[in-house]
Amino acid sequence: MAPDDIRSLLAGRSIRVAASECLLGRSVRWNGGHNGDAWPRQRLEKVFTLVGICPEVGIGMGVPRNPIQLVREESALRVVAVDDPKLDYTDRLKGYASEVAGALDDVHGYIFADRSPSCGLAGVKVFAEDGSFERVGRGVYAAAILACYPDLPVVDAETLNDEGILLDFVLSVLASYGVVDGNVGFRDLVRGLLNPP
Ligand code: SF4
């Protein structure tokens, strides 16, 4: 693809990328807040159309809602209410991921909110019965989406504050869309489009 075609593809925001909805500045977090300012949202909104999805709101948990957390149950991870471990949302979140996955065929990347027991990609706290935790988990909704789309470019939003990770993610989304690195200076061209003068 010629440089002008890549410019117009990105300027037209023709490529759809899914994102945890709280990352788009929408107040859907359990406490009524959002995560819209923790990552370079405006830069990616200029080159992609970002499609927000909140699985916790999607299964009807409402805003505000009681917080949830990952716990280990035998070898599996479950998502339960912090104040009542008998309230288990695991199967509903997995079921919602199956529904959403059917509508992601035209999406070429997914940006997930860090540390969430639903959306976090890695390093999510997993609690033991005694209240101790290890940062070794993946959110159950994110895991279910990745099981359906193992080759989809995915990233934790806050890691995009690193310029190298940001550029690599944009390039992998372009590759998923079918734009391959066939031009001399392709990487520099895309870097320039992400950093307009
Ligand atoms: S991290 Fe996921 S589940 Fe939590 S508020 Fe954001 S979109 Fe919703």
What's residue 75's pLDDT?
83
Q: Spell out the residues 6+ positions from residue 139 whose beta carbon is closer than 8 angstroms to its own.
A: 70, 79, 112, 116, 117, 118, 119, 120, 121, 124
CA of 26 to the centre of ligand 1 (A): 10
Residue 117 to residue 121: CA distance in whole angstroms: 9
As given in the structure block, the two tokens for residue 108 are 């070429």
What pLDDT band is residue 4 in, cutting at 50, 70 and 90?
confident
Beta bridge partners of residue 107, listed in sequence order:
16
Question: What's the whole-model pTM score?
Answer: 0.96
As given in the structure block, the two tokens for residue 128 are 């033991």
What's residue 1's pLDDT?
79
Q: How far is CA 148 from CA 25, 141, 144, in A?
A: 27, 11, 7
Q: Spell out the residues 6+ positions from residue 111 whose beta carbon is closer than 8 angstroms to its own.
A: 17, 18, 19, 20, 23, 39, 44, 50, 154, 155, 157, 160, 169
Mean pLDDT of 185-191: 87
Mean pLDDT of the chain: 94
CA of 118 to the centre of ligand 1 (A): 7
Residue 144 to residue 158: CA distance in whole angstroms: 21
* Strand spans (E) along 14-162: 16-20, 49-53, 68-73, 76-81, 84-88, 107-112, 124-127, 133-137, 154-156
Q: Is the CB of 21 under 6 A from ligand 1?
A: yes
CA of 169 to the centre of ligand 1 (A): 21
Ligand 1 atom, smallest distance to 20 CA: 7
Ligand 1 atom, smallest distance to 56 CA: 3
SS3 of residue 43 by DSSP: helix
Strands in 154-156's sheet, in edge-to-edge order, are 49-53, 16-20, 107-112, 154-156
Please indicate whether residue 155 or residue 182 has the higher confidence score (pLDDT). Answer: 155
Count of CB atoms situated within 10 Å of the CB of 170:
26
CA of 165 to the centre of ligand 1 (A): 22
Ligand 1 atom, smallest distance to 30 CA: 5
Residue 122 to residue 154: CA distance in whole angstroms: 11
CA of 62 to the centre of ligand 1 (A): 11
